Amino acid sequence: MITVIVLVELDRIRLELVERFECMMQAATEVTVCYRTTGSADFVLVLAVDDLEAFKAFVKTKLNTDSNVRKFKSMIALDCVKIDPRSTL
């Protein structure tokens, strides 16, 4: 299992477009955590995928198909140093 952190920047921040993206992420089985954020990224996603091909499929079917996704950056976790259960609240 590979953990991928994805920073997503939307093109337009209109309520219906943001809600559409949120619904898509809620339905995506690869997404284990989805935060709406301030700053340079509108969303931070944490994905759990089997391999790089599965991540590539997520990008092609979820991120590249949404015309409101301006850009995204991904980072692959090398190791989990700490998980505090409070961090998911």
In a domain, 84, yes or no: no
Q: Which residue has the tokens 């954020």?
A: 37
In a domain, 86, yes or no: no
* Contact by Cβ (8 Å): 5, 46: yes
In a domain, 82, yes or no: no
In a domain, 88, yes or no: no
pLDDT in tens, 22-80: 999 999 999 999 999 999 999 999 999 999 999 999 999 999 999 999 999 999 999 99
In a domain, 14, yes or no: yes
Q: What CATH number does residue 73 fall under?
A: 3.30.70.920
Domain count, the chain: 1
Count of CA atoms in the C-beta half-sphere (13 A) of 89: 3
Please give the residue range of the domain that contains residue 72: 2-77
- pLDDT at position 40 is 92
In a domain, 85, yes or no: no
